[in-house]
Amino acid sequence: MTEHTHKQFDTELEKIRTGVLQMGGLVETQVANALEGLKTGNTALLERVIDGDHRINLLEVEIDEECNQIIAKRQPAAVDLRLVMTVIKAIADLERIGDEAKKIAKAGKRLHSGDHTFSMRVDLSHATGLVLDMLRSALDSFARADVSNWTAITKQDEDVDASFKGTMRQLITFMMEDPRTISSSLEVLFIAKAIERIGDHAKNVAEYVVFLVQGRDVRYAKSVAAEAGNTKA
Amino acid sequence: MTEHTHKQFDTELEKIRTGVLQMGGLVETQVANALEGLKTGNTALLERVIDGDHRINLLEVEIDEECNQIIAKRQPAAVDLRLVMTVIKAIADLERIGDEAKKIAKAGKRLHSGDHTFSMRVDLSHATGLVLDMLRSALDSFARADVSNWTAITKQDEDVDASFKGTMRQLITFMMEDPRTISSSLEVLFIAKAIERIGDHAKNVAEYVVFLVQGRDVRYAKSVAAEAGNTKA
């Protein structure tokens, strides 16, 4: 590689890296706005989230294409290749977080469209705070190529799952006490589920960063252990 | 490239291609078994699905690693590169279909664990038949690098979505009529949702095949149209 080509290559890698962070920032705003609009009944904000989703979709396609170009032209190896692969996977998860934000916004619009004021009755702020924090941490890990957040993120993911189960139990109680709340409770249940899935995707992004930094695939550690157990048996 | 290297390259490409089909076959069996176990209350079959999921996870990691090796060593271009990228994305969706099968199996176990026989009350066989067919079609499109199934798959995906909405309405009615069924109805609702998501993932696989064959990204066609509209305005 000539020095010129080398510089170009660096610029291209920097571009996809920045692309992930830009997309991540947008996605974070979408999630925060969806949850804010849901809480306050600000339907204009919810509309904005719904309309904003396609920008995220297009960013994914754009960055994806840039990654393909880099692979085709530059034959990246070692950490450069891991960066490209990390980017390709991270943007797919970010795009899906965007989808979940859109789902929350749509459900929020339906809930707030009735004649009387809708009250959430369950408190999603704990789970909400956790997944927004996980998303920020995961993007921060990526930006700094630093895996020190990893343990905290997996712990937060467990908290989010536990919080979802608690919300579900609460909603079941409400529905049993007053079956007229069943439809709206289901909307809230799917919102809680969307929040939980945002946590899963944020955790995925953090997993890719471990692969990027350490070159090892930490997904499915349990599967590896199970398979090792089978072989021994 | 020497003829020898060329042959090795072809063998490697064939290996990841076959890997997808092998993984797809496993995933299809997992989904079919989960739904069969759910229907018949065969908890041993459901257990087998739950235990079998880690094999799918490991296959994903294995094929993913092979794809990385090919990119690092062979600098694939044009259709070869598109094949590698298609494989990387397709196995991620297949792995998630595996997760949904596992979720269905776990819910099935909970539903059938009670003292009296559990009856589904809603008929999921239409949606089930559709998603299994979509999955087979998508894998078949990939195997033959043929996009002629694409339109049918998108149509089936719409049917699956409509079917989910119908199931949800039915379940709401049951829950309102008899609030004691709320917990089990929610299990069934999440199963219906898992089936719907299997359809989404199968559609994703079919979308990647369009990219593989035609070199165009058909994801988010609506987003492209929306963005074009914004630019014009």
* A192-to-A46, A124, B84, B173 alpha-carbon distances in Å: 17, 7, 36, 22
| All domains in chain A, ordered by first residue | 8-221 (1.20.58.220)
* A73-to-A76, B6, B74, B86 alpha-carbon distances in Å: 9, 19, 12, 18
Q: Chain A contacts of B88, Cβ < 8 Å? A: 85, 88
CA dihedral B188, B190, B196, B201 (to 10 degrees): -140
Contacts across the A-B interface (CB distance below 8 Å): 99
A72 touches chain B (CB under 8 A): yes
Q: What is the DSSP letter of A122?
A: S
Q: Which of A99, A100, A97 is nearest to A138 (CA)?
A: A97
CB nearest B72 (choices: A55, A81, A223): A81
The pair of structure tokens assigned to A122 is 């369950």
How do residues A63-121 score in pLDDT, each as one tens digit? 999 999 999 888 898 899 999 999 999 999 999 999 999 999 999 999 999 766 777 78
Residue B233 pLDDT level (bands cut at 50, 70, 90):
very low
B219 touches chain A (CB under 8 A): yes
How do residues B184-203 score in pLDDT, each as one tens digit? 999 999 999 999 999 999 99
The chain B residue lying nearest A181, using CA atoms, is B176
In this complex, do A71 and B81 lie within 8 Å of one another by their Cβ atoms?
yes
Q: Which of B101, B110, B109 is nearest to B53 (CA)?
A: B101
Least reliable range by pLDDT among A183-192, A203-212, B109-118: B109-118
pLDDT exceeding 70 applies to what percent of chain B? 96
Q: Rounded to whole angstroms, how far apart are CA atoms A135 and A30? A: 12
Say what the ipTM of the complex is.
0.91
| Residue B146: strand, helix, or coil | coil
pLDDT at A114: 78
Residue B232 pLDDT level (bands cut at 50, 70, 90):
very low
In this complex, do B54 and A226 lie within 8 Å of one another by their Cβ atoms?
yes
Residue A232 pLDDT level (bands cut at 50, 70, 90):
very low
Are B29 and B102 in contact, with CB atoms under 8 Å apart? no
CB nearest A58 (choices: B55, B68, B227): B227
pLDDT at A230: 59
Q: How many helices (H) and strands (E) does chain A have?
A: 7, 0
B233 touches chain A (CB under 8 A): no
Mean of pLDDT values over B194-217: 94
A221 touches chain B (CB under 8 A): no
pLDDT at A39: 93
In this complex, do A61 and B220 lie within 8 Å of one another by their Cβ atoms?
yes
How do residues A17-31 score in pLDDT, each as one tens digit? 999 999 999 999 999
In this complex, do A75 and B77 lie within 8 Å of one another by their Cβ atoms?
no
A1 touches chain B (CB under 8 A): no
Mean of pLDDT values over A52-59: 96
Sign of CA dihedral A225, A228, A229, A230: positive
Q: Chain A contacts of B82, Cβ < 8 Å? A: 68
Q: Chain B contacts of A223, Cβ < 8 Å? A: 53-55, 57-58
* A158-to-A134, A164, B210 alpha-carbon distances in Å: 11, 10, 37
In A, residues 151-180, which contact B (CB 8 Å cutoff)? 168, 172, 175-176, 179-180
Burial A90-119 (b: 16+ CB within 10 A, else e): bbbbbbbbbbbbbbbbbbbbebbeeeeebe
CB nearest A57 (choices: B71, B88, B220): B220
In this complex, do A219 and B68 lie within 8 Å of one another by their Cβ atoms?
no
Least reliable range by pLDDT among A124-138, B53-67, B107-121, B162-176: B107-121
* B222-to-A58, B202, B213 alpha-carbon distances in Å: 10, 19, 21
Sign of CA dihedral B45, B51, B54, B59: negative
Q: Which of A176, A219, A186, A175 is nearest to A200 (CA)?
A: A219
pLDDT at A233: 40
